Structure formats: structure tokens, C-alpha cells
Amino acid sequence: MKVIRGGHNASASTPWSEHFTGTAWMDLVLREQLGEEGDGELVVTTVTFTPGVRTHWHRHEGGQLLLVVAGHGWVGSRDGGTQVVSAGDVIWTPPGEEHWHGATNTTTLTHVAVTLGETRWFDEVVDVIPSP
Ligand code: MN
């Protein structure tokens, strides 16, 4: 058992722009090996997207749970279109499903991301962004 006080490890927030349309800010909460070597990792992060910042298309080998804790944003998938999400919303993306997430054009979005296994990145989202 591990108790993590306050969700942050007293380290500086990390700017993250590779595979994003701008800079998102990430705080690592937890990183744990799953099962045996080669079974992948569980990674928990708190991510804050500034207005207009979104991920590129990507997928997670073991799926991903997003818990929206503040602000408003969008999530999109190849089949499910684009949806607005707000604080309190919970989004489960199954293993391998291509998707993206991020802030609307006018608001920030903060979510906790529980990510299972490796993430594979693809192109920027271009044609499915809702109008502001
Ligand atoms: Mn994701």
C-alpha cells in the first residue's frame, strides 16, 4: 500500500507539448509497473490544458480513465464524434480505441488520467473540432 499525500510529489509541474497542439501541464501522481516486466505500466497524472490545447489522436494499449476535475473540454473518438465534458464527468476509453482530449477554445480543462500500458501517438486532430 502506498499513500500519496496531496496527489503531487512536491516536484515542479512538467510542460508537455510533444503530441499536443500547445503546452499542457502535467503532474505525475503515480507510476507503477503492472504485473511482470513487459506487462506495461499504470500511470496516473493530473493534466491541465490551457484554452485551445488538445492532444493529437492516440490510443492506450490498456485503456484510459479520465476524471474531469475542473473546467470544460472536449473528448473525441473515431466512431463516437466529439463531446463536451465538464467537472465530474468520467470518460473510459477502451484499450486500443483512437481518441483525443483537451480544452475548449475558451476554457481550461483539468483531468486526472489513469493510463494503462503504452500510448501510441498519431496525427493532429483537424476536421472534428467543434466551432467555438
Ligand atoms: Mn488518452
The model's pLDDT over 20-70, given as tens digits with 9 standing for 90+, comes to 999 999 999 999 998 888 888 999 999 999 999 999 999 999 999 999 999
pTM confidence score: 0.90
3-state SS of the chain is CCCCHHHCCCCCCEEECCCECCCEEEEEEEEEECCCCCCCEEEEEEEEECCCCEECCEEECCCEEEEEEEEEEEEEECCCEEEEEECCCEEEECCCCCEEEEECCCCCEEEEEEEECCEEECCCCCCCCCCC
Residue 60 Cα, ligand 1 centroid: separation in angstroms? 7
Q: What is the pLDDT of residues 111-129, one digit of tens each?
A: 999 999 999 999 999 876 6
Q: How far is the CA of 97 from the centre of ligand 1 (A)?
A: 9
- 52 CA from centroid of ligand 1 (Å): 17
